[in-house]
Structures are given as structure tokens and as C-alpha cells.
Amino acid sequence: MRFAAYEHRHRNRVAVVEDDGTLFPLPGVTSLTDLIRDADGLPGLLAAGAAALDVPPGPHVSEVRLLPPLQPSSIRDFVTFEEHVEGVRRSVSGESGVPEQWYEAPTYYFTNPHAVFGPHDDVPMPPGSSVLDFELEVAAVIGREGRDLTPEQAREHIVGYTVFNDWSARDLQSAEMKVGLGPCKGKDTATTLGPYLVTADE
């Protein structure tokens, strides 16, 4: 099942998106983030979506402004494959190879949850930067609280996935990471999410 957050006629709504782009709004729901929290996991989210399919359809996706599907309270961006680790090290410090620590624990940074943009929104150029870059990534959306989970347990906490565009001011990032902490302003400007949240069962 696919969900979208959108603006139509000056109102924010959440809907199930059919294959042809028809939106089926969820009555009274204005935030997919709140719906996921209140649903407490994938079964609750799917039940809410199934109920929306029993009401008359809304507008077509081409008639609305798509918003970021989520406004998460926390966003962690991971380096999840070896080639990426090598590329980052080479560009920042000139070193090659993958440090042993990468194999021991997940490596990530916290990005700015207050700078989330929708799939068709313009993003601002970071002040002082002339090298804005993006990386097309996949976001796993966590729908239930958990701690110290095994990989199998963690999978059960993922309610879905969305497209994640990580915007980076490479010139700022390269300079600031030489201090040994960061990234800071090089990653602070924008993250693009969407267009949809696709549930984990798909």
C-alpha cells in the first residue's frame, strides 16, 4: 500500500495512492507521522489504509501538491555499503580503505529534521556554498519504539520505505570535517522525502 501527504485547496491531507494515481483520503487524518505513531506498527497502518478505500475517492495525484510523506522527529543517515565508506574517506581525508570499526556497529549522523522538503520542492542553496550535491537513497521508516533489537526484531519495526534525497554542501562538509566532528552545516540545509511511503509488506 502507498500513502501520500498532500496539500489540496489549502488543506493538508493523507491518502492511500492507487496505481492510477487516484487518492483515497483518510478521514480526519492530516499527518502520516501521527497516524504511524498512533497505529503502533504496520498492521494498524494497513487497517487505516484499508478503511480509506471504502470511502469515495479524492483528487488525482496530479491535482495536488505533494508534501514530504513524513515529518520525522529524528533522521539518521547511514553509510551502508563499503564503496560509500571508501568514497567518503577519500574525499574528506584522502585515506583509502574501510576502517574496521565500520564492521562493528552502524555508522550514521543525525540530519536536520526541521529541513525536510517534499519531492517537487525547491531546496535552498546553503550560504557560502557553491558545490551542492545529492545522493539518492532509501529511507526505512520506523513505526514502533524499540531498543537493542536483533536484525530480525528490527525488521518488524519498519512500517515502510520512502525515497530519501540527502543534500550536501560538499565544500562546507569537506572543510568542517577536518576538525574531526560533523558533518555540520554541510548537511544541515535540506533532506527531500517522497513522493510516497510504501508499506513494508510490499
User: DSSP state, 26?
Assistant: P
Same domain, 173 and 82: yes
Same domain, 35 and 87: no
Distances (CA, A) of 32 to 8, 165, 178: 16, 19, 38
Phi-psi region of 59 (alpha: psi -120 to 50; beta: other; left: phi over 0): beta
Same domain, 122 and 195: yes
Same domain, 81 and 173: yes
Same domain, 109 and 195: yes
Number of domains in the chain: 2
Same domain, 90 and 159: yes
Q: What is the pTM of this model?
A: 0.92
Same domain, 32 and 85: no
CA pair distance 166, 121, nearest whole angstrom: 14
Q: Which residues, in sequence order, are bridge partners of residue 11? A: 8
Q: What is the CATH number of the domain that holds 179?
A: 3.90.850.10
- Domain hosting 146: range is 75-199
Same domain, 184 and 89: yes
User: pLDDT truncated to tens, each residue of the chain (202 aa)?
Assistant: 999 999 999 999 999 999 999 999 999 999 999 999 999 889 999 999 999 999 899 999 999 999 999 999 999 999 888 998 898 788 777 888 999 999 998 889 999 999 999 999 999 999 999 999 998 999 999 999 999 999 899 999 999 999 999 999 989 988 888 887 878 899 999 999 999 999 999 9
DSSP string, 54-107: TS----BGGGSEEPPS---S-EEEE--SHHHHHHHHHHHHS--S--THHHHS--
Q: Which residue has the cell 562493528?
A: 104
The domain boundary, picked from 14, 45, 66, lies at: 66
